[in-house]
Structure 1
């Protein structure tokens, strides 16, 4: 039972930071927050993503490029220009590393306003940090696992962030249904997104890139949106006016 709870908690807490902080805040600026709260969410991203920490700065820049050049040769991660899932993930990793290490030649307009806390960016990318989190996961499993097959879940913990990314960047550009006509292959992967906290409504998001609520139809519940509304009500964040009409 402890292993199941830990796995589910890690899956959804890691995903929450990716969809809320990296995607909707760092990339799209759907809402604002104070510098202090930005550092708090930076730290929570490091804790919840752990060994698979994704740089909010690199994620934000790369995702903006994805929207600008979706399904073209300039898209950092497009199934249309990759031979397989692994090929796309490898290309994405190389693109990501160039941004993290500031060796890219990306137009500065894509970097404008993207959060960049140097200390946490460096800490999260250190191998000692990634391996340290991995060791903690292994120790937890050694203590609580009751069957050998449970250890097969460990690679998912190690690569949680990239796994979440590839589910959308590969599968939501190949499978699913379409609500809106867009200039790329983005689709809504799941009619009820119990798995990806709203991220699988990818066609909706590509049509309205600045809309904080990714769901449109009656069955398209976006679990992250109520979380955003609560934080807005508590004045931790501030949703931009007329959010449904905001575009990047």
Structure 2
């Protein structure tokens, strides 16, 4: 049982950082925060994502490109211009690496004012750091299952490890694939964005893609009465405490 709890803690903390810090802050700048809190959330995102840490700068550039070119051949991760889920993930990785390493210079509209702590990103992206995280995950599972044989642990739980290793890309793949293929649309956005309501309990509001593409600066991704964005109340709480300052409150 303890490993299942660990898995879901890793899943949701990593996902929160992607939704709150990488998506709503780095890419869309829906709110502002001090440099202290920006660096705090850099570190928190690294701790939460671990071996699959994503650079806020590179993430923001790709996400802005995604909005500008949604479901066209220029979209860095559209399921409608790749053969399958894995080719979409590989294409995204290639474009991400080009921007992370500064091999490609993005248009100013895609890189303007994005948070950039390059020294930390280069540290977090080193192979030894990523392998270190992988070894930590493996050690926890080996100790829990094979050494101490903790109650509620089973051999099949080792199959959860690859998801731990690739948590950030797994979340991105679910959002970009499901959110542009399955569900319903509240708005005609001239793309294939959908609201995958039946899966969003796993994604903290990120699968209201149709709503978000229509209202990209709206901090609450839910629009209809039956929709709920779990990240939104946390954002409101952080605004109320003064950690962040929302540009729009709706």
For this structure pair, what is the TM-score category when the shorter chain's length is used for normalisation?
A: over 0.9
User: CA separation in 1, counterparts of 2:225 and 2:7?
Assistant: 30
User: CA separation in 2, counterparts of 1:109 and 1:215?
Assistant: 26
Q: 2:102 — aligned with what?
A: 102
1:55 shift after superposition: 0.6
Taking the TM superposition and a 5 Å limit, the aligned residue runs for 1:16-35 are 16-35=16-35
1:193 shift after superposition: 2.6
| Number of residue pairs aligned between Structure 1 and Structure 2 | 243
Taking the TM superposition and a 5 Å limit, the aligned residue runs for 1:39-118 are 39-118=39-118
TM-score (norm 2): 0.95
1:239 shift after superposition: 0.1
User: CA separation in 2, counterparts of 1:93 and 1:109?
Assistant: 21
Q: RMSD of the alignment, in Å? A: 1.0
Q: Which runs of 5+ in 1 are unaligned?
A: none
Answer whether contact 1:191 1:219 (CA < 8 A) is retained: no
Answer whether contact 2:178 2:207 (CA < 8 A) is retained: no
TM-score (norm 1): 0.96
1:96 shift after superposition: 0.2
1:191 shift after superposition: 4.7
Q: Which runs of 5+ in 2 are unaligned?
A: 146-152
Answer whether contact 1:214 1:222 (CA < 8 A) is retained: yes
Q: 1:122 — aligned with what?
A: 122
2:220 is the alignment partner of 1:213: yes
2:201 is the alignment partner of 1:194: yes
Answer whether contact 1:192 1:220 (CA < 8 A) is retained: no
1:95 shift after superposition: 0.1
User: CA separation in 2, counterparts of 1:153 and 1:72?
Assistant: 34
2:187 is the alignment partner of 1:180: yes
Q: 1:144 — aligned with what?
A: 144
